[in-house]
Amino acid sequence: MDIYIDVEKCTGCQLCVKACPYGAIEMAGDTASITGACTLCGACVSVCPVQAIIRELPAVEDIDNSDYRGVWVVAEVSDGQLAGVSLELLGKGRELADTLQAPLSAVLVGDDVAGLVVGAAESGADQVYLAEDPALAQYRTGPYTDVLSGLINQHKPEIVLLGATEQGRDLAPRVAARVKTGLTADCTGLEIDEQERLLIQTRPAFGGNIMARIITRNHRPQMATVRPRVMRRLEPVPGREAAVVKVPVAFDEKSILTRIVEIARDEGAEAVNLQDADIIVAGGRGLKKPENFGVIYELAEALGGVVGASRPTVDEGWIPPYHQVGQTGRTVQPKLYIACGISGAVQHLAGMSGADCVVAVNSDPNAAIFDIAHYGIVGDLFEIVPALTEIARQELAQD
Ligand code: FAD
Ligand code: SF4
């Protein structure tokens, strides 16, 4: 990839100078000039009003992947902490990097986030790229894309992983398009083909009826997003250290197209933290009507758990969407998952089969949920669930 300025077209407006987060454009007389500090991030290309900045891409047959090395995890910061999904990706990234005999790096972007380097190191990173600037305090697509694209073009990792969160789903496709590579979203499995040094990215396709194995053969890096709670994090190693590479970025706020005016939080959604719950009691269409979710809430409360739901109950408006478990809902990994009146469709299982213990209550002895349940109770949920609630309350009263 190459980037240069067509001096015949350049009007000397200097918009690109302000837009370059790496300070790599200077004025040479009346026209702009790109210096050796250029990371090929591409931020200047779209701001030029006369299309004087040209980005040339190599033909597929000229692409040389051999100088791409290492596994990167783009760490996400949530309420001043490393997001759980980033720690999970560092766990998986460690395994991939060890197989490839390559380093594992975390990319930490934000403002005043250096304190999180320790957590990334203890969770498996050998190296942390640290990009700090006041303009990066809150996630915004433009500046984050500029930072990450520049880093990728400069340091050439062979694999880049992001969480399939709101942020990751917004950022990953932008960056993939900018650095001209492929992206596999919502992977449920990642492994290495050691012979070809390829990342095999597994994800459900065709409504979850098949598991597709996807490779990015010609382009680098190989990029994937993974939902929270799909991979398992490593036990942190206290005192483990990582090399820190400071990324020299400086943004001109005036050249960023978006401003964060307000952050509105959905308190209901935050209160129902399915992804971190140890106990989930989930209701399905077997409940027959919305008010019957009451029996599910009572059992969840008695056990100190939270309420999950199958998709039809959400689609029918019986319960808000943030309760949904499954392929198009949340992926969960509780210690205990009690599925009540849920048939066990593959799209539901995609979100909860990682639970340590599954208890299923269903009146149909042939329901698919029993195939994966550790304990199955065949019968009417309206008799069984209240009985379980009663037992839970009695047990707790004795404690
Ligand atoms: P049903 O399949 O209707 O099952 C109801 C169960 O209740 C039955 O097994 C029945 O025997 C039992 N029952 C009835 N009465 C009683 C009683 N009195 N006592 C005990 N048991 C009783 N689904 C999800 O859940 N999450 C997703 O994220 C999701 N994503 C999807 C994405 C796509 C692209 C598609 C195509 C589908 C998706 N679905 C998802 C829908 C999925 O295919 C199933 O339709 C859905 O999971 C079924 O929900 P259910 O088990 O509640 O309902
Ligand atoms: Fe353009 Fe990015 Fe290079 Fe700056 S670092 S000159 S914005 S491609």
* pLDDT tens digits, one per residue of 180-198: 999 999 999 999 999 999 9
* Closest atom of ligand 2 to CA, residue 45: 1
**Is there a shared CATH topology between the 2-57 domain and the 267-398 domain?**
no
pLDDT for the residue numbered 269? 78
Q: Would the CB of 153 count as within 6 Å of ligand 2?
A: no
pLDDT score of 273: 86
pTM: 0.81
What's the CA gap between 223 and 225, in Å, rounded? 7
Q: Which two tokens stand for residue 356?
A: 């340590």
CATH superfamily for 71-255 is HUPs (3.40.50.620)
pLDDT of residue 131: 98
Enclosing H/E stretch for 281: strand 279-283
The Cα–Cα gap between 2 and 5 comes to: 10
Coil, helix or strand at residue 295: helix
Q: How far is the CA of 248 from the centre of ligand 1 (A)?
A: 51
Hey, where are the domains in the chain?
2-57, 71-255, 267-398
Closest by alpha carbon to 282, among 352, 347, 228, 386? 352
Q: Tell me which residues of the chain have a pLDDT lower than 70.
A: 399
- Token digits of residue 189: 């499995």
Nearest CA to ligand 2 atom 5: 38
Multiple choice CATH, 267-398, 3.20.20.60, 3.40.50.720, 3.40.50.300, 3.40.50.1220 = 3.40.50.1220
**Kind and range of the H or E element at 192?**
strand 189-193
pLDDT confidence of residue 348: 96
Identify any residues that bridge with 34 across adjacent strands, giving them in sequence order: 25
Cα-based distances in Å from 377 to 303, 366, 370: 18, 12, 9
pLDDT value at residue 58: 78
β-pairing verdict for 71-75 and 159-163? parallel
| pLDDT for 60 | 74
Angle at 132 between CA 131 and CA 136, to 5 degrees: 105
pLDDT reported for residue 395: 84
Whose atoms come closest to the Cα of 36: which ligand?
A: 2
Q: How far apart are CA 221 and CA 182, in angstroms?
A: 8
Shortest CA distance to 285 belongs to which of 330, 227, 344, 326? 344
Q: Which CATH number does 2-57 carry? A: 3.30.70.20
The pLDDT of residue 338: 98
Q: What is the DSSP letter of 263?
A: -
Residue 109: predicted pLDDT:
98
Q: Whose CA is nearest to atom 31 of ligand 1?
A: 347
Find out whether the beta carbon of 43 lies less than 6 Å from any atom of ligand 2: yes
